Amino acid sequence: MTTSRGSRDIPSLLEGLAATPDRLEAVTRGADDGALDAAPAGEWSARTVLAHLRDDEFMVTRLRLARMTVEEHPTLAPFDEGAWASSRWSGRDGLQELLSDFRLQREASMMVLRRLEASDWLRTGSQPELGAFDVHWWVEHWLEHDETHVAQITAALAKAKEE
Ligand code: NI
- Distance (Å) from CA 9 to ligand 1 centroid: 23
> Does some domain include residue 55?
yes
**At 22, which CATH number?**
1.20.120.450
Q: What is the pLDDT of residues 139-156, one digit of tens each?
A: 999 999 999 999 999 999
> Does some domain include residue 86?
no
> Does some domain include residue 37?
yes
Q: What is the pLDDT of residues 110-127, one digit of tens each?
A: 999 999 999 999 999 999
> Does some domain include residue 84?
no
Name the domain count of the chain. Answer: 1
| DSSP helix/strand/coil, 155 | helix
- Distance (Å) from CA 57 to ligand 1 centroid: 10
Determine how many CB atoms are found less than 10 A away from the CB of residue 105.
20
| Structural domain span for residue 73 | 3-78+92-162
The dihedral sign for the CA sequence 12, 18, 19, 23? positive
- Distance (Å) from CA 52 to ligand 1 centroid: 7
- Distance (Å) from CA 149 to ligand 1 centroid: 7
- Distance (Å) from CA 91 to ligand 1 centroid: 20
